Amino acid sequence: MPLIYTLPNELLLEIGSHIHGRHRNTDLASLCLVSQRLRPVGQEHLLREPTFHLDQIHNFLWELGHRSWVIPKIRRLEIKSTRKSRVDAADERDASRYIRYPALACPPQIAQSTEFLHRCNALIAFYARHPKHQAQWQTALHTDVVAALLGIALVVLPNLQQLHLAATWLMDFPVFAPLLAANVTARPSMDWKHDFLAGALAALRDNLRVLHVPTDLRGMQFAPRCRALFDFRAFTRLRELSLPMDALSYGLYHRVRPPAEPRAILPQSLEVLRISEATETTANFVNNLCLAKKRASFPGLRRVEVIYCTHRGRILTRAYTMRCPHPVRDVVSMCTDAGLGVWLYFPGSLMCTADAGASLWGLRDAGLLREVEEEVWAKRMGVFGVPEPRWEVFELGIDADGDVEME
């Protein structure tokens, strides 16, 4: 018999914790099929660090209901979603068209599970902020089941510290509606706004350490007078925040408006800020952030990381045309002057989270960013079926002392 089967459970669990990458769920499921000895190892890692598509949220809650011992162990939750499974094909092709919130009625397999609905109603009664929200939440179990189950999934995990939603469509997560900044209005507000989810959001504010905001904002509209969409200051213990540039500089005229004030939207506990789908105006926001840091705000902030939406040549041209700071030289100078480390990445072609099908930061941490970028470029065809030109990838890491980081 192989020696691996003689190892104690603790070492087998440690081995399973090193299974990462885009196919993590498949690899762990395959591990469960190897032998009866390894099956509990794969199952525990699938449950302890769950990663699933939003349309499987009812199965996730069903598993938690039958394996309650794993609930206190879950500290990280990653959910994915796309517009394709929620909207018509015509709306999917028209990226500029406003899409009304696609509420989904409760499917028969859930409606017929009386025990499951009874447990959901008990959780709603406990976490709803007042009777009106409780009634709305319980009604949503039958008329808007995705939002209702999402709220339950967030409140049922008392030790949740990391919430990764970068590879999702913002419309699917009305739990972010209470986080809209004071001068921001969603249109029409009654579609996407779910007041009853305020109780679910309140359960996260004191424990959450890492938050990755949905990056796909297509199909949504907000008041044009706003700049930054969200206010994250309620998360008093948040250490790492990832969000798209559209959430920091929104609207048709974002290139000619002054950047958002970081102290009005970011928590003082922040240590790492990650910006994806960055544009030439990102340097303006980074400048404001560095100025705030030098004025005694964000005492724990130590690093800024940026992934741009396209290649360096195009960003440099746009920055010169719009008279924005240099996206490399000036950004590095700003950050080192404020005592911050900085990491910049310019892909070789146009790339966003929706094209990659996964969080760009998760791909970067797993060492798969360039591989996926190559796949995205190969799938995108240019005019008359000719592949688009691909530029050289540019990556630069500078520590707080101004020294270049080695890979």
Tell me the pLDDT of the chain (407 aa) as tens digits: 557 777 888 888 888 888 877 788 888 888 888 888 888 888 888 888 899 999 899 889 988 888 888 999 999 999 999 877 666 644 555 555 667 788 888 888 888 888 888 989 998 988 888 889 899 999 999 899 999 999 999 999 999 999 999 999 998 898 888 888 877 777 655 578 788 888 888 888 889 999 999 999 887 887 766 778 899 999 999 999 999 998 988 765 556 567 788 999 999 999 999 999 999 999 999 999 999 999 999 999 999 999 999 999 999 999 999 889 999 999 999 999 999 999 999 999 888 898 888 999 999 998 889 999 988 888 876 666 677 788 899 999 999 988 888 76
* CA–CA distance, 81 with 56 (Å, rounded to integer): 10
Q: Which two tokens stand for residue 1?
A: 């018999």
CB 177, CB 185: distance < 8 Å: no
Please name which of 367, 356, 347 lies closest in space to residue 21, comparing C-alpha atoms. Answer: 367
Inter-residue contact 123 to 155 (CB < 8 Å): yes
The answer to whether 237 touches 207, Cβ cutoff 8 Å, is yes
Tell me the β-bridge partners of 242: 212, 274
Contact 275, 243 (CB under 8 A): yes
Answer for the pair 158, 72: CB distance below 8 angstroms, yes or no: yes
243 φψ region: left (φ > 0), alpha (ψ -120 to 50), beta (else): beta
pLDDT tens per residue across span 77-104: 999 998 776 666 445 555 556 677 888 8
Cβ pair 197, 148 in contact under 8 A: no
Determine whether 352 is exposed, middle or buried from the number of CB atoms within 10 Å of its CB (0-12, 13-18, 19+). middle
Q: What is the pLDDT of residue 97?
A: 62
pLDDT of residue 379: 81
| pLDDT score of 90 | 45
Q: What are the two backbone dihedrals, phi and then psi, of residue 281, each rounded to the nearest 5 degrees?
A: -80, -5
**Which two three-digit tokens encode residue 252?**
């048709």
Q: Say if residues 255 and 319 touch (Cβ distance below 8 Å).
A: no
Neighbours of 300 (CB within 10 A): 11
Residue 304 dihedral angles phi and psi, to the nearest 5°: -125, 130
- Taking each helix axis from N to C end, the angle separating 39-48 and 24-32, rounded to the nearest 10 degrees, works out to 150
SS3 397: strand
Token readout for 256 is 């000619």
Q: Residue 347: which of 277, 394, 389 has the closest Cα?
A: 394
Q: What is the pLDDT of residue 30?
A: 86
220 and 249 in contact (C-beta within 8 Å)? no
Q: Which of 172, 110, 114, 181 is nearest to 146 (CA)?
A: 172
- Of the candidates 272, 205, 265, the one whose C-alpha atom is nearest the C-alpha of residue 237 is 205
Q: Which two tokens stand for residue 401?
A: 């002392």
The torsion defined by the Cα of 229, 183, 176 and 290, in degrees rounded to 10, comes to 40
Instruction: List, as one string, the DSSP characters of 183-244.
Output: T--BSSHHHH--GGGHHHHHHHHTT--EEE---B-TT--B-TT-S--B--TT-TT--EEEEE
Is 358 in contact with 372 (CB distance < 8 Å)? Answer: yes
How far apart CA 298 and CA 290 sit, in angstroms, is 10
pTM of the predicted protein model? 0.90
According to the model, what pLDDT value does residue 105 have? 87
Question: Rounded distance, CA 286 to CA 304, Å?
Answer: 8
Which is it for strands 341-346 and 394-398: parallel, antiparallel or unpaired?
Answer: antiparallel
Distance CA 142, CA 191 (A): 16
Q: What pLDDT score does 255 carry?
A: 61
Given CA atoms 368, 371, 374, 378 in this order, what sign does their dihedral have? negative
374 CB neighbour count, 10 Å cutoff: 15
Please state, in angstroms and rounded to a whole number, the distance separating the CA atoms of residues 353 and 177.
21
Q: Which helix or strand (DSSP H or E) is residue 272 part of?
A: strand 272-278
Contact of 192 with 174, CB cutoff 8 Å: yes
